[in-house]
Structures are given as C-alpha cells and as structure tokens.
Amino acid sequence: MGYWRPDHEPADTDVLAAFRLIPQPGVEPEEAAAAVAGESSTATWTVVWTDRLTAYENYQGKCYRVEPVPGTDPQQYIA
C-alpha cells in the first residue's frame, strides 16, 4: 500500500488531517485509512503538465497512524 507509511514522522511544515472511518467488513483499518489518504492526495486521473514540476512523493497523502475510537459499534477509527 503506497499511502500506508507507519514509519512516517511528520515534519513541522506538513499539513495534518484526521479522518474518522468505519471500514467495510473484511477490510483492515490500515487498508481503509490508506484508501482515504489516497483519495485525499494530490493525484488526479488526468495527466496535466504540472505533474512534472514537483516531486509527487513529497506531497502525496500519507497515513501513518490508525487508532480505534473506544465504545463504537460498529468499530470506528481515527486515521
């Protein structure tokens, strides 16, 4: 999974966001969180000329932590 980076240490200049999610049955929380990071990333289905101006790896979304929300049914997570 390209967006799941458990060893990532955010920089002081990173933009951080937290999402509450409920994975579908059979989907691991980390996989669901990585999908959210991918959907929230800088990627687009259309190739544009600006794609070559920046290093995508530096700006793409990354999920590095998933924590359960206590007392939720179905189980919810903050990623």
User: What per-residue confidence (pLDDT) applies to 2?
Assistant: 82
Evaluate whether the domain defined by 1-43+51-79 bears CATH number 3.30.70.150.
yes
C-alpha to C-alpha distance for 55 and 4, rounded to whole angstroms: 18
User: What per-residue confidence (pLDDT) applies to 58?
Assistant: 73
pLDDT digits (tens, 9 = 90+) for 45-75: 566 666 666 666 777 889 999 999 999 999 9
C-alpha to C-alpha distance for 4 and 8, rounded to whole angstroms: 9
Token pair for 41: 């990333």
User: What per-residue confidence (pLDDT) applies to 60?
Assistant: 80
* Mean pLDDT to the nearest integer, 7-22: 94
* Mean pLDDT to the nearest integer, 18-36: 96
Beta carbons of 11 and 59 less than 8 angstroms apart: no
* Mean pLDDT to the nearest integer, 30-59: 76
